[in-house]
C-alpha cells in the first residue's frame, strides 16, 4: 500500500451469533482515494464485517480506528456522522416517499423549522447527477421505480451524505450492464475525488475493472490482502476454498440411467428479470442441488414450481405431462404431490404461537378429515409416526412450536409436509441456523426419502451440503443455469468457480482430480462416489 | 414527466375524495328545498367539521401504520371537560380552551408513549386508553348538562360576513397551523417513513420514535378541537358512549375515503377532511330524497365498500403472490 496512512483500520474484530462464528479476529484497512474489494463465498463474514463498520452490529471484541483515533458506533447514524456510509444489499429506501424525500431523509434541509422543499429538490438533483442518473425525476415515488433505478437512487442518497468511506454491498446485483457502466464511471470519479470505497461483489470482472486492493475472507477471517491484478482468478478461488468440514453425509447410491420420465421437469422457465430460461429435470429417487451465490434466482425457481409466481413463461411438466400449478394448494394436491420446505420457517413455515400438534397437521388436514371434521385418532397416529421418524424433541405436542429449538422447529416444518407423503420435495436452504446434529439427521432423511422414490430439489447456500447430498447440482447465476455438475464433478472448486461465473475448464479438471481424495479422508461415509 | 403529473399522482386520493364530495354536495343542494344558500351550507359545514377534525386526528396515526380507536373517546372527554371549563369571562374562557386542548394533547401523548415506548400494538392500546378516557368523561358528566360561553360558541358556529361558515374557517386555520407544518416538518416525514417502511427508515437514521409520538399527540389535539366544537354546537357536555364509538369508526371510514392508506405511509389529512365531508353528505342525501333514515347505515356502508374497492385494484398487478401478504 505504498506507505499511505490508512483512513480507517479495524483489528481483531470478532462477532458470534449464538454458536455461529461470523467473524474471527478480522482486520481490514482502507485508504483514501482507492477502491478496496472484499471477496468471499456465502457466509464468509463479508456482510457482518460491513455491518460492524456501518454501526448496525456491535462487535464482540476488536477495535476500529478512524484517522488514527479509536471509534465505536452505537447506531448507523453515528457511523454516518463519522463519514462512513453503507449501501446495503437490502435496500433502505422508503417506498411511499419520493426520490428527493429519500435522498435527504437522514438530514433534510430546513427553513423556519420546516423542510425546505426547494433546497431538497436542489440537493436531490445534484446527488442524482453525481450518481449519473439525472434522468430520474426527484418527485417520482420510489415504489414506482424498477429495482435497478432504486439502486441508483440508493447510491445518490449515500452521496448526498458526503461520505468519506462509501461501502457498496452487492450494489450492482440488480443493475443492467448499461447501468453498471454508468455506476463504474461514478465510482472511479469518487475515487479520484479522494473517497475510500469498499466494494463487495461476487462478479470477478467487476472487481478486476474497479479494485485497487483486494481482501479475501474465509470462515470469518481475512485470509489474504493483495494489490488488484497480482493474482489470477484461479488463485483467488484457491484462497476462498477451504471450509472446515464437519458434516457426515449418507452414502450416495449408484444410480442407474433413468428410464421413466422425470417426476419434475421445467422447460424454458422465465419470470420477470429473476428467472432466465431455466430448464431442468428431477427424476424419482434423485437429489438435485441448486447452487450458486445467494440470490441468483434459486428461491424464485422454487416458488415458481410451487405455484406462487404469476406471469411465468415456459412449461412445468409432472411425470412428463404438462401441468399448470396455480397455487400452493394446487401444488400440494395429490396429483402433483409437491411440498416446499421454506427458507424462513418463522414466517412461511410455522405459526409460532400455535401448538406443535396444530402445526404438524396443517398441511394434511384435508386428508385427516371427513366432511370437514378432523379425525382426531388418525391425526394422532400420523403425528406419532412423524415425531418418531424425525426424532422431534418436544416437551409435548400441545406446547407452542415457538418454544422448540431451531433444529426441532425445522423438523416440524418438514414433518408437516411429510404427512402428505409428497413425491416432489423442494427444499429452500433448510439447514440455515440449525445445529450440526440436526443437520446430519436431515441429510439422512433426505437420502431416505429419495430412496423411497421422492424427487428432491435442494437449494443450499452451504457448498459442503451440496457436495455431500446431491446426485447433480445446477449452478445458477443471474437467474440462469450456468453449469450442471454431475457425480464426482461436484467439488467445492467447481461450485465456487461456476458460482462466480468464471470460465475455467482447466480448473474444473484439476478440481476433479484432487477433491475425491480429500473427500475420502474427511468424510469416510461418502465412499460411494469416489 | 412533468412536475405537475407527479403532484397529481401524489394527490390522487385527495382529489378523488374532493370529487366525490363535490358531486354529492351538488346533488344535495340542488335537491334541497332551499337550494344552495348560506344557511344550508352553514348547517352542513357545522355537521361536517366535527367528523373532519376527528378524521384528521385519525389520519395522523394511520400514516404511521397505526390506528387510534380512542379518538372518539378523546372527542367525548374534551366535550365534557369544555362544558365545565369554557365558561365565564373572556380570560376564563380562554383558559378553559387551552386546558381542553392541553387535555387532548396529553391523551394523545399517552397513547403515543404506550405504543412507542411500551411497544404495544396501537389497536389494543387505544381500545384500553379509549375506555379510560370515556370513564373520565362519564365521571365529569354522569348526566348530560353544563354550559359553554355562548358568545364564543355562536361566533364560531355562525357565519363570517354573512356568507362564510365560521366553522369552515376554523377548519382551514387548523389545517394551516397544525397539518401543514407537521406534514412538512422532519417529524412529519419521519411519521410517513415509519409508516411506509420502518426498517428502511431506521437504517436511514430517521427519528422514527419522535415522529410517531408527534403524530399520536397531535391526533389527541385535533380530536380535542373536535370536542370543543361539539360543545359549541350543543351548548352541553354529554358522555354518549354510542356517539363516541360512531365517531371513531366513521373517522376510519373517512380516512379510507380520503385516500389515506391503512397500511401507512400514504395520504393526507386534507383528503381525510373531504372523506369526512362526503361521508356526512351521504346522510343528508337520504334526507333530501325522503328516504327513511333507517336506510342511512346501509347506504353509508355500500358507498364505503365501493370507495375501498377502488383502492384494491393494485393487487391484480402483483406477480409474486407472496407479496399479497406483505
Closest among B192, B272, B193 to B14, alpha carbons compared: B272
Cα nearest neighbour of A75 on chain B: B205
Q: Which residues of B touch A303 (CB under 8 A)?
A: 320, 322
pTM for this prediction: 0.74
Amino acid B138: pLDDT:
94
What are the cell numbers at B226?
A: 373536535
Say whether both A168 and A216 belong to one domain: yes
Does residue A2 lie within any of the structural domains? no
**Pairs across A and B, CB distance < 8 A:** 98
Please report the domains of chain B, with CATH numbers, ordered by start residue: 9-325 (1.10.3470)
Q: Are residues A389 and A440 in the same domain?
A: no
Chain A residue with Cα closest to B2: A137
pLDDT digits (tens, 9 = 90+) for B34-44: 878 888 888 88
Does A375 share its domain with A306?
Answer: no
- Same-domain status, A110 and A209: yes
Lowest mean pLDDT among A166-180, A374-388, B85-99: A166-180
- Residue A25 located in a structural domain: yes
- Cell numbers describing residue B115: 405504543
Reply yes or no on whether the pLDDT at A185 is more than 60.
Answer: yes
Which of A190, A206, A240 terminates a domain? The answer is A240
Helix runs in A32-176, H state only: 46-53, 76-81, 99-103, 117-130, 147-160
- pLDDT winner (highest mean) among A124-133, B70-79, B82-91: B70-79
A30 and A103 in one domain?
A: yes
What does the alpha-carbon distance between residue B18 and residue A59 come to, in Å, rounded to a whole number?
Answer: 54
Q: Is residue A246 part of a domain?
A: no
- Cross-chain CB nearest to B197 (options A80, A95, A115): A95
Find which of A91, A139, A331 to mutate to test the B interface (most B CBs within 10 Å of its CB): A139
Write out chain A residues lying below 8 Å of B320, CB-based: 300, 303, 308-310
- Please answer whether residues A148 and A179 qualify as being in contact, where contact means their C-beta atoms are separated by less than 8 angstroms: yes
A499 in the same domain as A411:
no
Interchain contact, B205 vs A96, CB within 8 Å: no
The answer to whether position A403 is within a domain reads yes
Interface test with B, best of A51, A81, A86, A94 (most B CBs within 10 A): A94
Q: What is the pLDDT of residue B35?
A: 78
Question: Nearest 5 degrees, angle CA B194-CA B200-CA B206?
Answer: 60
Nearest beta carbon to residue B189 from set A95, A108, A327: A108
Interface of B with A (CB under 8 A): 1, 3, 6-7, 9-10, 181, 184-186, 189, 192-193, 195-197, 199-206, 261, 264-266, 318-322
Residue A174: pLDDT band (50, 70, 90) is low
A159 domain-assigned: yes
CA B209 to chain centre: 22
Looking at residue A60, the DSSP 8-state letter turns out to be S
Residue A514 CA to residue A385 CA, distance in Å, equals 43
> Over 90: is that where the pLDDT of A475 sits?
yes
Question: Among B186, B266, B321, whose Cβ lies nearest the Cβ of A108?
Answer: B186
Q: Residue A143 pLDDT more than 70?
A: yes
Q: Does A141 touch chain B (CB under 8 A)?
A: yes
Q: Kindly determine whether residue A95 and residue B196, on different chains, have CB atoms separated by under 8 Å.
A: yes
Is residue A88 less than 8 Å (CB to CB) from chain B? yes
The answer to whether residue A343 sits within a structural domain is no
Query: Which one, of A443, A368, A345, A358, lies nearest residue A400 by Cα?
Result: A358
What was the pLDDT predicted at B100?
95
Give me the number of domains chain A comprises: 3
Contact A110 B186 (CB under 8 A): yes
pLDDT value at residue B13: 84
Domain finish residue from A367, A398, A421: A421
Alpha carbon distance A100, A142 (integer Å): 9
Q: Which residue of A has its CA nearest to B180?
A: A114
Sort out which chain B residues have CB atoms less than 8 A from A85's CB and list them. Answer: none
Q: Which residue, of A205, A240, A275, is where some domain finishes? A: A240
Range of the domain at A463: 252-337+426-530
Q: Verify that A40 and A91 share a domain, yes or no.
A: yes
A181 and A289 share a domain? no
Evaluate whether residue A17 is within a structural domain.
yes
Using pLDDT thresholds of 50, 70 and 90, give the confidence band for residue B310: low
Residues of A in contact with B319 (CB under 8 A): 271-272, 309-311
Read off the CATH number of the domain in which A328 is found.
3.40.50.300
Is residue A346 domain-resident?
Answer: no
- Count CB atoms within 10 A of the CB of residue A220: 23
pLDDT band with cut points at 50, 70 and 90 for residue B76? very high
Name the DSSP letter for residue A325: -
Contacts of A95 in chain B (CB under 8 A): 196-197, 200, 265
- Which residues on neighbouring strands pair with residue A322, listed in sequence order? A317
Q: Do A96 and B9 lie within an 8 Å CB cutoff? A: no
State the nearest Cα–Cα gap between A103 and chain B, in angstroms.
Answer: 10
A400 with A430, same domain: the answer is no
Contacts of B185 in chain A (CB under 8 A): 113-115
Quote the minimal CA–CA distance from B181 to chain A in Å.
7
Q: Tell if the CB–CB gap between A310 and B1 is shorter than 8 Å.
A: no
Among residues B259, B262, B257, which one has the least CA distance to residue B282? Answer: B257
- A217 shares a domain with A122: yes
Furthest CA-CA distance within chain A: 80
Q: What is the pLDDT of residue B107?
A: 96
Instruction: Give B65's contacts in chain A (Cβ within 8 Å).
Output: none
Judge if A149 and A49 occupy the same domain: yes
In this structure, the answer to whether residues A112 and A155 fall within a common structural domain is yes
Amino acid at each position: 500500500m505504498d506507505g499511505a496512512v490508512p483512513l480507517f483500520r479495524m483489528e481483531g474484530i470478532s462477532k458470534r451469533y449464538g454458536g455461529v462464528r461470523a467473524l474471527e479476529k478480522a482486520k481490514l484497512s482502507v485508504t483514501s482515494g482507492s477502491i478496496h474489494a472484499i471477496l468471499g463465498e456465502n457466509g464468509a463474514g463479508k456482510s457482518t464485517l460491513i455491518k460492524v463498520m456501518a454501526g448496525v452490529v456491535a462487535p464482540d471484541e476488536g477495535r476500529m480506528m478512524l484517522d488514527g483515533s479509536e471509534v465505536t458506533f452505537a447506531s448507523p447514524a453515528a457511523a454516518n456522522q463519522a463519514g462512513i456510509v453503507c449501501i446495503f444489499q437490502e435496500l433502505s429506501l422508503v417506498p411511499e416517499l419520493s426520490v428527493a424525500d429519500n435522498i435527504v431523509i437522514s438530514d433534510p434541509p430546513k427553513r423556519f423549522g420546516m423542510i425546505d422543499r426547494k433546497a431538497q429538490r436542489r440537493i436531490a438533483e445534484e446527488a442524482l447527477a453525481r450518481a449519473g442518473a439525472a434522468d430520474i425525476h426527484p418527485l417520482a415515488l420510489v415504489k414506482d421505480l424498477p429495482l435497478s433505478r432504486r439502486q441508483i437512487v440508493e447510491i445518490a442518497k449515500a452521496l448526498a451524505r458526503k461520505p468519506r468511506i462509501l461501502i457498496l454491498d452487492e450494489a450492482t446485483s440488480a443493475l443492467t450492464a448499461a447501468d453498471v457502466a454508468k455506476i463504474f464511471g461514478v465510482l472511479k470519479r469518487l475515487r479520484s475525488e479522494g473517497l475510500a470505497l469498499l466494494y463487495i461483489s461476487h462478479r470477478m470482472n467487476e472487481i478486476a475493472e474497479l479494485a485497487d486492493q483486494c481482501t479475501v475472507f474465509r470462515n470469518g477471517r481475512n485470509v489474504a490482502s493483495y494489490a488488484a491484478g497480482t493474482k489470477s482468478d484461479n488463485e483467488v478461488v484457491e484462497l476462498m476454498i477451504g471450509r472446515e468440514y464437519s458434516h457426515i453425509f449418507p452414502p450416495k447410491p449408484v444410480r442407474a440411467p433413468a428410464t421413466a420420465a422425470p417426476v419434475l421437469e421445467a422447460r424454458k422457465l422465465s419470470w420477470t428479470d429473476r428467472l432466465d430460461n431455466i430448464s431442468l429435470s428431477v427424476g424419482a429417487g434423485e437429489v438435485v442441488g441448486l447452487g450458486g451465490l445467494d440470490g441468483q434466482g434459486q428461491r424464485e425457481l422454487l416458488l415458481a414450481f410451487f405455484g406462487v409466481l404469476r406471469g411465468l413463461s415456459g412449461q412445468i411438466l409432472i411425470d412428463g405431462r404438462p401441468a399448470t400449478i396455480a397455487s400452493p394448494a394446487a401444488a400440494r394436491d395429490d396429483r402433483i404431490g409437491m411440498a416446499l420446505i421454506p427458507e424462513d420457517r418463522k414466517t412461511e413455515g410455522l405459526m409460532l404461537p400455535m401448538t406443535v400438534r396444530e402445526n404438524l397437521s396443517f398441511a394434511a388436514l384435508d386428508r385427516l378429515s371427513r366432511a370437514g371434521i378432523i379425525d382426531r385418532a388418525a391425526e394422532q397416529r400420523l403425528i406419532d409416526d412423524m415425531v418418531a421418524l424425525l426424532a422431534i424433541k418436544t416437551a409435548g405436542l400441545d406446547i407452542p412450536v415457538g418454544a422448540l429449538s431451531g433444529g426441532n422447529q425445522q423438523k416440524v416444518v418438514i414433518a408437516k409436509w411429510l404427512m402428505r407423503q409428497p413425491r416432489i420435495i423442494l427444499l429452500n436452504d433448510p439447514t440455515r441456523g440449525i445445529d450440526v446434529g440436526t443437520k446430519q439427521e436431515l441429510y439422512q432423511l433426505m437420502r431416505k426419502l429419495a430412496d423411497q422414490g421422492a424427487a428432491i430439489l435442494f437449494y443450499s447456500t452451504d457448498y459442503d451440503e451440496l457436495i455431500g447430498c446431491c446426485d447433480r447440482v445446477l449452478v445458477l447465476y443471474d437467474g440462469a443455469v450456468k453449469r450442471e455438475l454431475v457425480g464426482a464433478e461436484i467439488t467445492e472448486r467447481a461450485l465456487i468457480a461456476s458460482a462466480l461465473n468464471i470460465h475455467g475448464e482447466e480448473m474444473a479438471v484439476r478440481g476433479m482430480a484432487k477433491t475425491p481424495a480429500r473427500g475420502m479422508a474427511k468424510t469416510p461415509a461418502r465412499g460411494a462416489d469416489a | 414527466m412533468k412536475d405537475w403529473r407527479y403532484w397529481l399522482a401524489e394527490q390522487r386520493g385527495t382529489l378523488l375524495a374532493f370529487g366525490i364530495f363535490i358531486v354529492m354536495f351538488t346533488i344535495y343542494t340542488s335537491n334541497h328545498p332551499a337550494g344552495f344558500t348560506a344557511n344550508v351550507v352553514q348547517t352542513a359545514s357545522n355537521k361536517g367539521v366535527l367528523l373532519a377534525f376527528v378524521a384528521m386526528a385519525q389520519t395522523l396515526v394511520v400514516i404511521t401504520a397505526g390506528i387510534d380507536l380512542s379518538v372518539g373517546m378523546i372527542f367525548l372527554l374534551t366535550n365534557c371537560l369544555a362544558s365545565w371549563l369554557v365558561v365565564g369571562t373572556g380570560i376564563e374562557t380562554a383558559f378553559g380552551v387551552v386546558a381542553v386542548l392541553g387535555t387532548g394533547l396529553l391523551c394523545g401523548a399517552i397513547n403515543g408513549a404506550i405504543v412507542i415506548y411500551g411497544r404495544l400494538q396501537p389497536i389494543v392500546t387505544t381500545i384500553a386508553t379509549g375506555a379510560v378516557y370515556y370513564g373520565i368523561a362519564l365521571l365529569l358528566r354522569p348526566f348530560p348538562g353544563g354550559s359553554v360561553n355562548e358568545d364564543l360558541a355562536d361566533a364560531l358556529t355562525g357565519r363570517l360576513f354573512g356568507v362564510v361558515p365560521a366553522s369552515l374557517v376554523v377548519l382551514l386555520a387548523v389545517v394551516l397551523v397544525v397539518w401543514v407544518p407537521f406534514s412538512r416538518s422532519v417529524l412529519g416525514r419521519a411519521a410517513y417513513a415509519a409508516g411506509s417502511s420502518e426498517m428502511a427508515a431506521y437504517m436511514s437514521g430517521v427519528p422514527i420514535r419522535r415522529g410517531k409520538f408527534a403524530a399520536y399527540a397531535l391526533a389527541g389535539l385535533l380530536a380535542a378541537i373536535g370536542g370543543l366544537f361539539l360543545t359549541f354546537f350543543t351548548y352541553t357536555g354529554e358522555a354518549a358512549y354510542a356517539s363516541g364509538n360512531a365517531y371513531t369508526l366513521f373517522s376510519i371510514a373517512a380516512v379510507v375515503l380520503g385516500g389515506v392508506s391503512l397500511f401507512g405511509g400514504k395520504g393526507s389529512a386534507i383528503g381525510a377532511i373531504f372523506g369526512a365531508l362526503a361521508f356526512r353528505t351521504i346522510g343528508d342525501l337520504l334526507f333530501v330524497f325522503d328516504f327513511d333514515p333507517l336506510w342511512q347505515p346501509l347506504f353509508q356502508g355500500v358507498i364505503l365498500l365501493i370507495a375501498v374497492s377502488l383502492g384494491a385494484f393494485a393487487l391484480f398487478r402483483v406477480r409474486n403472490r407472496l407479496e399479497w401478504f406483505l
